[in-house]
Structure 1
C-alpha cells in the first residue's frame, strides 16, 4: 500500500466504528455526542487531505487483499474527493446543530441513543457510495443510506413522520430494485460490475442491450436524485422530519444520485445516446419544481420544491456531455449541497423562533431576530443566483456551456434555466417578505435561539460565501475533474493498470514498482 492509501477507507470505516461504539454506549448520551463529533471531524480532515492528494491522480485501494477486478476497490479521484469533502463539512455542521437542538429540547423529541449511531451509519453510506469503484458496492452504499434514512425520517414516531417515511422507503425500494436488476443484467452481459472494467467491456456488447442497461441505471438514479417525473415523493417526505434530518437529506442525499449519474454517464456510456432525454428531463425538473415552489405557503415545502428544481441544473450540465458542462455541473453540485443545507437549517431556526414554517403565520422576524434575517437572506440570494455569489457563477457556467453547445435543445435549456432562476428569486423574496417583514396575524411566541444552533447554520452560510470568494480555485478543480471524466483512461488505468497489480497494493505502489523494474519485466508483468 502506498504512503497515503490507508486514508481512502477511513471515511467509511471511522463512522461505522463510531456507530458501533455509540450504540454500545447507548446509556451514555454525552459520550455518544463526543464520539459522533470526533468521528465526523476525522472524516472531514481525511476528506480534505484526499481532496489535495487526488489532484495529482486517483488513489486506488483494494479491499480485503483482492485486486481489481475480482475484489472491491475504493477510488479517490477528483470528483469523489470533492463530493466527499463537501458532504463531510455538511454532515459535521448538521450534527453540531442537532446536538444543540437536542440539548435545548432536553432530548425529549428524539431517541438520542438511536440517533447518533444511525447518523454515523448514514455518513458511512454516503462515503461508500462516493468512493466505490464497482456498481454493486455503490448499491450497498445506497442500501446503507436507505436503512439509516428511514430511521432518521421517523424519529419521534409521529403519525405524520411514519406516513412520510413509508412513502420514502417504498420509493427507495423501487429504485433499489431497479438498480439491482440493472446490476444483474450488466453482470450477465459483461461478466463484471467493476466500473473500470465495464468501461472497457460495455462498448463490446450489442448497442440496444447497452441502451437498455443505461436506461435502467438512469431510472434507478433518477428516483434517488428526484428528477422529474420521478420526484413527486420528495416534497411530501422531507418537510415532516426534524430540521437537522431534513437539512442533511435535502442538501446531500439527492446529490448521491446525481453523483452516480455523473459517474456512470461519463465512464460507462460516453456515446451519449440518452443525452437528449436527459435534457428534456432537466428542463421539466427545473420548470415543474420551481412552479411548485412558487405555489407554496410553507417554507419547508417551498425549499423542497426549489431543491427539485435545481437538480435540473445539474442534469442539464451532465446532459451537455462536454467538459465545460461537466465542470459547471460539478461546481454547482458542491454549491447546492452547502447552500441548500444551510437554508434548511435556517428554516429550522425560523420554525423555532416563530413557532411555525407557515408563511401566513409568520412575520416581523427582521425586527425581533435580525441575525436570523441575515442568515436567511444570504443563502436565499445565493440560491436565487444574485451576482457575484456562487449560485450565479455556477448558473453562468452552465448557461455558457449550453450556448457553447449551440443546439436548439441546449438553447431551450438556457432559456429555461434563466426563467427558473428568476422564479427562484421570486419565490424566495416572497418567503423573505412574509416571514420577516409582514405583520404577523398573531404575536409570535417569545423564544430564544440557542447559539449552538445558530453557529453551525452560520458556518454553512459563511462556507457558501467562501465558495464565491474561492470560486477560482474551486472551479479550476472542477474543470480538472471534468477533464479526467472526459479522458476515461485516467480512471481505467488507475484501477486496472497495465501489467496488473498485486493484491492489496495501491496504484501508487504499483507505479513505483514498475518504475524500478526493467523494461522487459514491466512488459511481461514479472518482478525486476
Structure 2
C-alpha cells in the first residue's frame, strides 16, 4: 500500500468540502485555502521523495488488483507534475488573499480553486484512461466556473470559446476511449500498453493515436485549435489567469507525453512527424500573436501557446535528450509563466490597467518590481543563466543531434521573438515615462500591505527560477531519470501489473 499517492487528490477535495462548510466565513475560507494548498505542497514533496527512493509507486483503489480496479500510479513525471501543482496552488492561494474580492469569494472562488487542483492532481496520478477523462471533466467544470466569476461581458465571451473547444476535445477523447476499450477490452493504461504491443489491427491503432493527439492537442492549446486560450485567459481575475497559465495546458501536454510514451510507444514515425509540424506551427503562431498585442495578459497568453510548442517538440523528436528537454521545459515554464501573470496583477493594482499604452514609469517608482518582472521575462526568452536558457538549450541541442535543422531554426527564431515581446513590455510598462493620470484608467487607492502580499509569491517563484538557473544539475538529473522511465514503458507496466504483466493479486 502506498497511501501517499492519494493525498494530493484527497487534500484539495477535503479542503474544498470544508471550505463549503464555512460558506459564510470569509476568514475561514481564506485560512483553509492557505492551509489546504500548503498541505498539498508538503504531500506532493513527500510523494516525489518516495518515488525517487523507491521507484514507481502504485495504489490499487479498493484493493482490487489491476487491471480490474482503478490504479493510482506515481512515476517520476507524475510526481514532478504534482509537486509543481502544489507550488502553484500555494502561490496562487497566497496571492488570492490580496486580489480576490468579497463578491468572487461569495460565489465559491476558494472551493472551486481546490476542486481544480484536485482535478489536476488526479489527472497526473491516474493509471486509468477513463479516469483521466473524468479528471479532465472535473478540471473543465471548475475552470469554467472560475472563468465566469463576476459575469462580465468579456469573461462570458472568453468562457464560451473556452468551453466550446474544450467540450469538443472531451467528445473526441471519450469516443477514442470507447473505441480503445472495444479493441483491447481494458481501461488500465499499463494493461492497454501491454495489449497494444501485440495488436494486429495497426490501422485502427493509428486512428486512435490521431484522435488522442487531437483531443490532447486542444487541451494543450497546440496549433491549430489554440485560439480559445488567448481569447479567455486575459478575462478572469488575475489569480485565476495565473492558475490557468501555470497548470491547465500542461495537463494536456502531460497527457500527450503519457499516451505517446506508454500506449502508442510502438506507433509509426509519422505520428511524431505530425507532432513535429504541430510543434513548429504552435511556436510560430503563438509568438507572432504575442508580437501583435499591446495588452499585458494577452501577450502572456499568446506566449503560453508558443512555449507549448517547445514541450511538444521534445516529445516529437522522441530521443532521450529531447524527452529530457521536454520534461525540463515543463518544470521551468510552469513557474515562469505563473510568475509573469502574478507580476501583471501587481502592475494592474498599481496603475489600474493592463493596456501597455496606459502604463509606464514603474522602473523609477518601483525598481524592485522591474527586477521581479525581468527574472521570469528573461527566463521565458531563454537568457542565461536563468532556467529558460537551459530548457531551450537542451531542446535545441536535441534538435541538432536529431538533424532536425528546420524545426531547430524555428525554435531559435521564436526565442528571439519572445525576447522582443518581453522587451516591449519592459519598455512600455517600466522604462517609458508614466502617462498623465487623466489619460489612464482610474486607479483605486493602493494598499501597500496588499502589494507586499501579492509580491511574496512572485518573489518565491522568481527565486525558484534563479535556483534552477544557477543549480540546474539536480533538476537535469531528475528530468533525465524521468525520461528514462518514459522511454522504458515496461517499467511502468511491471509496476502496475506485476512481472510480465501478471494480473493476479
TM-score range, shorter chain: over 0.9
**Distance in 2, Cα, partners of 1:60 & 1:478:** 20
The aligned residue for residue 153 of structure 2 is: 159
Structural mapping, 1:96-135, within 5 Å:
96-102=94-100, 107-112=101-106, 114-135=108-129
Match of 1:369 among 350, 356, 366: 366
Between the aligned partners of 1:456 and 1:113, the Cα distance in structure 2 is: 24
Change (3 A) 1:93 1:37: same
Aligned residues: 493
Answer yes or no: is 1:137 the counterpart of 2:138.
no
Helix, strand or coil: the match of 2:151?
Answer: coil
Q: 1:148 aligns with which of 125, 132, 142?
A: 142
Deviation at 1:151, TM superposition (A): 0.8
Q: Does 1:249 align with 2:250?
A: no
C-alpha contact 1:27 1:113 (8 A) present in aligned 2 = no
Larger Rg: 1
* Residue number in structure 1 paired with 2:176: 182
Alignment partners' CA distance in 2, 1:426 and 1:163: 29
Alignment of 1:61-72 (within 5 A): 61-72=59-70
Which structure 2 residue ranges, 5 or more long, are not aligned?
Answer: none
Q: Deviations over 1:325-383 (max 9, x none)?
A: 11110000010000000000100111111111111111111111112111111110010
- CA deviation vs aligned residue, 1:114-172 (integer Å, no higher than 9, x gap): 01111100000000000000111111110000000011101111122122112111111
Residue among 87, 90, 97 paired with 1:89:
87
Match of 1:509 in 2: none
Alpha-carbon deviations, 1:457-503, whole Å to 9, x = none?
A: 11111111122123100110100110111111110000000284776
Distance 1:33 1:502, change over 3 A: farther
Secondary structure of 1:60's partner?
A: strand
Partners of 2:464 and 2:499 in 1: CA distance: 41
Counterparts of 2:483 and 2:245, CA distance in 1: 25
Distance 1:288 1:166 in 2: 22
Matched residue SS, 1:273: helix
336, 340, 345: which is aligned to 2:337?
340
Q: What's the CA shift string for 1:192-218, capped at 9, x where partnerless?
A: 111101111113141110000000001
Task: Judge which range, 445-454 or 25-34, deviates more.
Answer: 445-454
Q: Distance in 2 between matches of 1:182 and 1:448?
A: 51
Q: Is 1:320 equivalent to 2:314 in the alignment?
A: no
Contact in 1 for aligned 2:169/2:214 (Cα 8 Å)? yes
State the SS of the aligned residue for 1:64. helix
Residue 65 of structure 1 deviates from its aligned partner by: 2.1
- Structure-2 separation of matches of 1:236 and 1:32: 30
Give 1:112 deviation, angstroms: 3.8
Quote the offset at 1:440 in angstroms. 2.9
Alignment of 1:222-371 (within 5 A): 222-271=217-266, 272-371=269-368
Gaps of 5+ in 1: 504-528
Alpha-carbon distance in structure 1 between the residues aligned to 2:477 and 2:299:
33
CA contact under 8 A between 1:111 and 1:155: conserved in structure 2? no
Rounded to whole Å, the distance in 2 between the matches of 1:401 and 1:494 is 29
Q: State the alpha-carbon separation in 1 of the partners of residues 69 and 382 from structure 2.
A: 44
In the alignment, which residue of structure 2 is the partner of 1:35? 32
Deviation at 1:235, TM superposition (A): 0.3
Residue 464 of structure 2 aligns with which residue? Answer: 463
Q: Greater relative contact order: 1 or 2 (C-alpha under 8 angstroms, separation 6 or more)?
A: 1
| 1:448 to partner: Cα distance | 4.5
SS of 2:45's equivalent in the other structure is helix
Runs (4+) of structure 1 moved beyond 6 Å?
A: none
Q: State the distance in 1 between where 2:128 and 2:468 align.
A: 31
What is the match of residue 479 of structure 1? 480
Residue 426 of structure 1: aligned partner: 420
Q: CA deviation at 1:437?
A: 1.2
2:393 aligned residue? 396
SS at match of 2:161: helix
CA distance in 1, matches of 2:473, 2:140: 36
Q: Contact conserved, 1:139 with 1:179, CA < 8 A, in 2?
A: yes
Instruction: Tell me the SS of whatever aligns to 2:63.
Output: coil
1:519 paired residue number: none
- Counterpart contact for 1:365–1:436, Cα < 8 Å: yes
Aligned partners of 1:211 and 1:273 also within 8 Å: no
In structure 2, the partner of 1:16 is: 13
Displacement of 1:18 in angstroms is: 1.2
Counterparts of 2:10 and 2:347, CA distance in 1: 36
Taking the aligned partners of 2:221 and 2:274, their CA distance within structure 1 comes to 15
Shift of 1:109: 4.6
**Offset at residue 54 of structure 1 (A):** 0.8
Separation in structure 2 between the aligned mates of residue 93 and residue 283 of structure 1, nearest angstrom: 32
Asked if 1 retains the 8 angstrom alpha-carbon contact of 2:115 and 2:138, the reply is: yes
Per-residue CA distance 1:52-98 (angstroms, 9 max, x = gap): 11123100001122111011100111000001101110111011100
Matched residue, 2:446: 447
